[in-house]
Amino acid sequence: MRDYAIVPTKFWITPLAKALRGNTAAQVVALYLKTGPHANMIGLYHCPVAYIAQDTGIPIEGASKALASLSEADYCTFDESSDVVFVHDMAPEQIGATLAQADKRTKAVLREWLSVPSDRLRRAFHLRYAAPFHLPPMPDGAELGGVALMPLASRIEGPSEPHRSQEQEQEQEHDHSVLRTALAERVEAPADSRTGAEAAATHVLEQVAVMDRKDGDPLRDEDEKLLWSAGRFILADAGIKADAAGRFLGKLVKDCGNDRVLVFDAMRAACLERPVDPRGWITATCQRMRGERAPENKQTALEKRNFEAADRWAAGHAANNPQMTPATPTESNT
């Protein structure tokens, strides 16, 4: 979930806003699509109508009508078959009109784009933003870094076809797999302005960007090797030598109770974020994640039960003795 979103103040005087005046539900949904908890910086993400209804309080039927109004106004496109929405002008608002090839955010844009389950909307985004955000080629039969792509499904599924066949599901999953594999296996020849080491680092970090992995998942050998290499690359980029990087990561695993999964999850997050101070960032992230995953210790649990018991006794005693001063809230309910 993002911490913030950019909403231009001119929103209310745009032709869209003027067209929506009096349509409160559509106005609310338009802003929700840019600021909601499920949104991302490219404006292409999974957003079922039920999410909109739950978060805005608009009934599902009203939310659906609002989406239809916004679609007619060319504000967004909603793919009912995959529950994916594409907010047309959101990416340049959140990111900028263009990105430099070396900008760290190009990897983040690529990662978000690859994760979209809607072929139709992934293509629509590509048509608008492939050039400014340096997305790889996507036309049927094209090549991605020298690897031929299978034609992606060009289905546009409407409400009249709510259920896809097993064959269609397998075809789409194959398409996604081919696209991820093509990117992960791309090996760029070093350009005049880049060294072989830089090209190798870029290749490894691109593989991390398309890893099929969630935080907390068991570590596969290939994932651990990839993340270890990627971690050393981003530390080297910050001026930390290979031997020092190895010692730092080894000590971090030990300090985290030999929880290699936690440390490698933090390293993967750092590879995607590319912080200026990766050593400090990874350490802080490990500490935060360790706190989130740590079970409640016995002493804390005992104290919590004691506070709850005291509250129950005080509440019951006060009910039986109206003249008794209400109990002061304890630590458990403050």
Question: What's the average pLDDT block by block, 10 residues per block, for the chain (334 residues)?
Answer: 81 90 96 95 95 95 96 94 95 93 90 90 93 80 35 33 50 48 41 52 68 74 80 81 84 87 84 78 86 61 69 69 54 49
**What is the domain count for the chain?**
3
Helices (H) and strands (E) in the chain, counts: 14, 5
What pLDDT was estimated at residue 310? 73
The answer on 323 and 247 residing in a single domain is no
Other beta carbons less than 10 A from residue 113's beta carbon = 23
Residue 217, in any domain of the structure: yes
C-beta neighbour count of 138 within 10 angstroms: 18
107 within domain boundaries? no
In-domain check, residue 121 = no
* Domain end residue (candidates: 46, 64, 93): 93
Residues 216 and 287 in one domain: yes
Query: Is there a domain that residue 2 lies in?
Result: no
Residues 287 and 316 in one domain: no
Shared-domain flag, residues 42 and 70? yes
Residue 156 lies in a domain: no
Name residue 208's amino acid. V
Specify if 265 maps to a domain.
yes
Question: Which one, of 32, 10, 13, lies nearest residue 76 by Cα?
Answer: 32
Final residue before a domain boundary, out of 60, 93, 126: 93
Same domain, 250 and 325: no
Q: Which two tokens stand for residue 217?
A: 């998942």
Give the global pTM. 0.46
Same domain, residue pair 326 and 285: no
Instruction: Give the CATH number of the domain where residue 54 resides.
Output: 1.10.10.10
Residue 64's pLDDT is 96
Per-residue pLDDT, 301 = 64
Q: Are 219 and 281 part of one and the same domain?
A: yes
- One domain for residues 225 and 279: yes
Is the distance from CB of 153 to CB of 171 less than 8 angstroms?
yes
Residues 219 and 259 in one domain: yes
Q: In whole angstroms, give the CA distance from residue 190 to residue 198.
A: 8
Is residue 240 located within the same domain as residue 282?
Answer: yes
Contact of 154 with 168, CB cutoff 8 Å? no
Domain span holding position 259? 210-293
* pLDDT at residue 198, as a whole number: 61
Same structural domain, 243 and 318: no
pLDDT recorded at residue 223: 77
